[in-house]
Chain A
Amino acid sequence: MNLLEYMARDVFDAYDIPSTSGFVASTVDELKNLAPGLTYPMVIKAQVQTGGRGKAGGVKFPENPDEFVEMGKSILGMSIKGLKVEKVFCYPKVDIDREMYLSFTLDRKTKLPVMIFSPEGGVEINEIAEKNPEKLVKQLIPAGSALDDFYIRYAVDKTGLEAQYVDEFATICKKLYDAFIKHDCMLAEINPLIVDPDGHLLALDSKVDIDDNALYRHPETLPFKDEMTSDEWVREARSFDFLFIPIKDEGNIAVISNGSGMIMSTIDLISKNGMDVTCALDLGGGATAERIQEALRIVASRENVDTIFINIFGGITRCDEIARGIEGALAKLSDVRLMVRLEGTNKDVGLEHLRSFGGNIRIVDGLDEGVAALAEEVKA
């Protein structure tokens, strides 16, 4: 779960990483109440899960209380890349003498934590990586070990970080690594890490991505999970323990299957035959008729879906349950056609039941045949 900036700031605070002290607000009334007591100029930032907030007008710098309320109001009312701004994060503006970059993430190739540091660049880190690679250090950290001092010294020497910043830098490095490990992060990033006019290092932005599988260890983040999901189909599917995956805006075909690999290869085969899959739903293993009925309802309610390809290779999932689920959902699926492939546990019972009631259903044998039939129907 990629945390919003203000939530990530809470994580930074828990590890005592120096940053500007800020607050979050979600209504204009809150902004009005707070405005008189603030130190100006301030920074107001839209809290949405996307890059390019500044360019979209989601970051503003009010000089006085009136501007603070007015600018905050405009940001709270806006949408950025389709995401409605529900909250703003505010803090006193800091003059920046210099921007650096520091992060810890996972290197999938070596399966180790990696520290990435550049004493220059900050938000322009990608440019630095391309034009001045000698200013960027990527250092792997052995599994299960602390961030020993020599890794930090190595990064300092390699990038030529000036001596006056080394002590504060070392402290921040250790704290951020501590947060990365103890908070089960996929990424913990300070971008930019700034030098303020007094020569101190401060985290101006905070980015924390926590492993979804480890959220149970950080229960304070659990309430944010739904808040962080903008697609209501994803949210609703999740409430039934399904995974809903929006694929693309084009197309009218949806895929329902029981397993991540099968979902991917079904989409691949349909796409290869020149058709577009707009969304998919993974039932996981062992879905009952009642839950399958819900899955069909959720997928069919997506605006542009007119065809649903149900591809089941049943192990724990029983084909007769699938057939009964389809029967139960049929009344609500009048304007959707179904293509059904059943294989595995109780296939014959399932197929027999499927043939016993009407509806706009075409039964196919095998994935290849299913996709060929789909092409026939869609292109007809």
Chain B
Amino acid sequence: MSFLIDKDTRLIVQGITGREGRFHAEQMLAYDTKVVAGVTPGKGGSEVLGVPVYNTVLEAKEKQQANATVLFVPPKFLYGAAYEAIMSGMPLVITIAEGTPVHDMLKLHHLAKEKGVTLIGPNSFGVISPGKAKAGFMAHHIFNPGNVGIMSRSATNCYETVFLMKKAGFGQSTVVGVGGDMIPGSTFVDLLPRFQADEQTEIIIMIGEIGGSEEELAAAYIKEKVTKPVVALIAGKNAPKGTSMGHAGAIVSPDGEGSAESKESALTAAGVHVAESTQDIVRILKKLA
């Protein structure tokens, strides 16, 4: 059993008529994901890869009983597209784009919470339940079904970990790209209860990085509520203060808030296994398995 998406997920691709949307819709279909509709305003009535395209999320939902949507839209249009998806009652909205204005995400983060919608991303590769379905652009061939759940702020560190896990014979239950932005739709704390409740997940990997306080908040939650073993990596220990390391969210403020030390000590105190590198994550997994 995976959570967020699985074989029964009926997925909309918003922006399916664009270059990226079309390419990745094809990849998702090749992974046997049920892509049931595309949405592009003004392109309703057409078809892409045999998938019907609608003008609105409401119509796509009504005609195809869709229950999740992934947004391949540029950052400028992310707010409008995600707002439409949330207000149309989609229970799961997955956003990809890098470069979304932070004030847009501020509004969407709180709107999704208020409406009970799970909003994932942006600046994310999406979500994959290996062997079942994927909603995003991750290179799916490196993922294997298994019992390790992963949530990651970084795509590349997640790929590296998954690649090393494959070599060592480990697979994943559900992998979520939390994304590298300052305000994500869902935080580690939002996702931890889902991993804890998921029967397939036996071990949780959390790939964090400098900036913000999501890892500290996760540590507090884990201490109280999570009984499964958690392995964490914090990237950016040697990043200079006040410099964004590429991800908009990966910045230690000049007064030191968001530092790797603060995160690692909170996690260690909560009983989390703190890894020093992606390779070290796999070493810890071997000990736990």
| A313 contacts B by Cβ under 8 Å | yes
Which residues 326-380 of A have a CB within 8 angstroms of B? 343-345, 366-368
How many residues on the B side are at the interface (Cβ–Cβ under 8 A)?
53
Question: Interface segment, B61-69, B98-106, B223-231?
Answer: B98-106
Q: Are B182 and A108 in contact (CB under 8 A)?
A: yes
B43 within 8 A of A: no
Contact between B277 and A248 (Cβ–Cβ < 8 Å)? no
Interface flag for B286 (CB, 8 Å): no
Known contacts A111-B106, A268-B236; A262 and B139 CB within 8 A of each other: no
> Is A211 part of the contact surface with B, judged by Cβ < 8 Å?
yes
Within 8 A of B (CB), among A256-291: 257-265, 267-269, 271-272, 277, 282
Q: Specify which of A106, A261, A269 is in contact with B154 (CB 8 Å cutoff).
A: A261
Cross-chain contact B235 with A268 (CB below 8 angstroms)? yes
Q: In whole angstroms, how far apart are the Cα atoms of A243 and B243 in the complex?
A: 12
> A261 and B239 in contact (CB under 8 A), knowing A144-B110, A184-B101, A186-B102?
no
Tell whether A228 is near chain B: CB-to-CB under 8 Å: no
**Bound-complex Cα distance A144 to B112 (A):** 13
Residues of B within 8 A of A113 (CB): 106
Contact across chains for B99 and A258 when beta carbons are under 8 A apart: no
Q: Which residues of B contact A212 (CB under 8 A)?
A: 248
Cα-based distance from A277 to B239 in the complex (angstroms)? 10
Tell me, yes or no, whether B188 is within 8 Å of chain A by CB: no
CB <8 Å contact, A265 and B233: yes
- Shortest Cβ distance from A84 into chain B, in angstroms? 20
Residues of B within 8 A of A265 (CB): 157, 160, 233, 235, 277-278
Q: Is B115 an interface residue (CB 8 A)?
A: no
Interface residues as binary, A100-116 with B (CB distance below 8 Å gives 1, 0 otherwise): 00000010110111000
| Interface: A150 (CB within 8 A) | no
- Closest residue of chain A to B248 (Cβ to Cβ) is A213
Chain B residues with CB under 8 A of A245: 243, 245-246
Complex alpha-carbon distance, A258 and B154, angstroms: 12
Among residues of A, the one whose C-beta sits closest to the C-beta of B212 is A108
Smallest Cβ distance from A56 to chain B, in angstroms?
18
**In the bound complex, how far is the Cα of B265 from the Cα of A72, in angstroms?**
50
Interface residues of B in 69-110 (CB under 8 A from A): 75-76, 99-104, 106-107, 109-110
Taking CB atoms, residues of chain A closer than 8 Å to B276 are: 268-269, 272
Q: How far is the CB of A49 from chain B (nearest CB, A)?
A: 11
Q: Which residues of B in the span 131-175 have a Cβ within 8 Å of any Cβ on A?
A: 138-139, 152-160, 163
The reply to whether B157 and A261 form a contact with Cβ atoms under 8 Å apart is yes
Task: Give min CB distance, B98 to chain A, whole Å.
Answer: 9
A286 to B223, CA, bound (A): 40
- Contact B235 A108, beta carbon cutoff 8 Å: no
Q: Given known contacts A243-B246, A272-B276, is B239 in contact with A264 (CB within 8 Å)? A: yes
Smallest CB separation, B188 vs chain A (Å): 13
**Complex Cα distance A77/B239, Å?**
33
Question: Does A200 touch B at the CB level, under 8 Å?
Answer: no
Which single residue of chain B is at the shortest CB-CB distance from A215? B101
Interface residues of B in 240-269 (CB under 8 A from A): 240, 243, 245-248, 250, 258
Residue of B nearest to A180 (CB): B103
A22 near B: Cβ within 8 Å? no
A181 surroundings in chain B (CB, below 8 A): 103
- A112, A213, A267, A344: most-surrounded residue (chain B CB, <10 A): A213
Contact B103 A261 (CB under 8 A): no
- Among residues of A, the one whose C-beta sits closest to the C-beta of B210 is A264
Given A261-B155, A261-B180 in contact, is the A344-B139 Cβ separation under 8 Å? yes
Whether the pair B237, A261 counts as a contact (CB closer than 8 A) is no
Name the distance in Å between A180's Cβ and chain B's nearest Cβ: 9
In the complex, chain A residues whose CB is within 8 Å of the CB of B157: 259, 261-262, 264-265
Q: Is the CB of B160 within 8 A of A367?
A: yes
Contact status of A106 and B182, CB under 8 A, knowing A247-B240, A261-B153: yes
B207 CB to closest chain A CB (Å) equals: 7
Contacts of A143 in B (CB 8 A): 106-107, 109-111
Q: How distant is the Cα of A142 from the Cα of B217 in the complex, in angstroms?
A: 20
Given contacts A186-B102, A213-B100, contact A262 B156 (CB under 8 A): yes
Q: Counting CB contacts under 8 A, is A214 at the interface? A: yes
Residue of A111, A113, A216, A315 with most partner-chain B CB within 10 A: A111
Please tell me which one of the listed residues A109, A258, A264 contacts residue B209 in the complex, with CB atoms under 8 A apart. A264
Alpha-carbon separation in the docked complex, A345 to B141 (Å): 11
Report A-chain residues with C-beta under 8 Å of the C-beta of B278. 265, 367
Max count, chain A CB within 10 A of own CB: residue among B182, B237, B246: B246
Judge whether B183 is part of the interface by a CB distance below 8 angstroms.
yes
Q: B277 to A367, Cβ gap below 8 A? A: yes
Given A143-B111, A213-B99, A265-B157, 20 other A-B contacts at CB below 8 A?
A106-B106, A106-B182, A143-B106, A184-B102, A211-B101, A248-B240, A258-B156, A259-B155, A261-B209, A262-B154, A264-B210, A271-B237, A277-B238, A313-B156, A313-B159, A313-B163, A345-B139, A367-B278, A368-B277, A368-B279
7 CB < 8 A contacts A-B: A109-B213, A113-B106, A213-B99, A247-B238, A261-B247, A264-B235, A313-B160
Chain A residues within 8 Å of B, Cβ to Cβ? 106, 108-109, 111-113, 142-144, 181, 184, 186, 211-214, 216-217, 243, 245-248, 257-265, 267-269, 271-272, 277, 282, 313, 315, 343-345, 366-368
- Nearest 5 A/B pairs, CB to CB: A261-B154, A260-B246, A259-B156, A262-B156, A214-B101
Which residues does B use to contact A, with CB under 8 Å?
Answer: 75-76, 99-104, 106-107, 109-111, 138-139, 152-160, 163, 180, 182-183, 207, 209-213, 217, 233, 235-240, 243, 245-248, 250, 258, 276-279
